[in-house]
Structure 1
């Protein structure tokens, strides 16, 4: 069975709004929820400031302090930190080589392909046993 991630329409819409507001730069944020087997359910998200120095049109960076805060938030709210969402301005919603180098096991990576007026496509990815990205089924209601 293909791994699956469920995101409410409201949360996905907020992620898309974030991607559009940060265009032409990449946006970034965390999302939280619960995982059960091959199914993750996103119940909350938290936008972040892209802390990448210099050109943010092709890269994002998460401040280590923001990561620690996210872990603490998840723990204190009985949630799991499920992954990171980010945008690919004027590029497909598929992971880049840079995304692969930065990826960690278990996390899901939601990527929104965005231009100056709309989000073209949104996908989700997770590392497999061979340390390669495998697409997850992204379900939204």
Structure 2
């Protein structure tokens, strides 16, 4: 059964805005939410600083301080970190070999394809038992 990533329209718009702000560099961040039997319900997307200055156009390194702040916030809200989002400037929203090498099991990986014209694609991925990515379908969460 395919896993589902539930994302509010407002969070999608925020992610698109951050993607455009960072272009032509990669933007990145974390997702707070709740793991459910059929996937993940994202409650909030948070932006993180990309510390990779040498290869900022095609790599990201999440600032550990941003990671710790997101982890503390998730704990305080009674939820958890459920994954990472990042952009692929001028490339498709498919995981790269680097994305695969650095991925953690059990997390969702949302990738936004972005060009000078804006975000063109948003897709979600999760590692399977064979250390390959399976696509998660992204559904718009109820506005409540």
- TMscore range, shorter length: over 0.9
- Asked if residue 86 in structure 1 is aligned to residue 83 in structure 2, the reply is no
In 1, the alpha carbon distance for the partners of 2:99 and 2:108 equals 12
- Indicate the residue corresponding to 2:67 in structure 1: 67
How far apart are residue 28 of structure 1 and its match? 0.2
Residue segments in structure 1 that go unaligned for 5+ positions in a row: none
CA RMSD of aligned residues (A): 1.0
What does residue 125 of structure 1 align with?
125
In the aligned structure 2, how far is the partner of 1:105 from the partner of 1:68? 19
Q: Displacement, 1:137?
A: 0.7
Matches of residues 25-36 of structure 1 in structure 2 within 5 Å? 25-36=25-36
Number of residue pairs matched?
141
Matched residue of 1:129: which SS?
coil
- For structure 2, the 5+ residue unaligned runs are none
TM-score by length of 2: 0.94
Q: 66-75 vs 123-132, which deviates more?
A: 66-75
Partner SS, residue 126 of structure 1:
strand
Q: CA deviation at 1:41?
A: 0.8
Alpha-carbon contact 2:20-2:119 (below 8 Å) kept: yes
Q: Which residue of 1 aligns with 2:135?
A: 135
CA distance in 2 between partners of 1:103 and 1:37 (Å): 21
TM-score under structure 1 length normalisation: 0.96
Cα offset, 1:46, TM superposition:
0.9
Aligned to 1:69, the other structure's residue is in SS state helix
Equivalent residue, structure 1, for 2:56: 56
Between the aligned partners of 1:17 and 1:108, the Cα distance in structure 2 is: 20
Q: Please, which moves more after superposition, 62-71 or 27-36?
A: 62-71
Return the offset for 1:10. 0.5
Inter-partner Cα distance in structure 2 for 1:64 and 1:131: 25
Deviation of 1:112 after TM superposition, in Å, equals 0.5
Structure 1 residue 114, shift from structure 2 partner:
0.5
CA offset at residue 3 of structure 1? 0.4
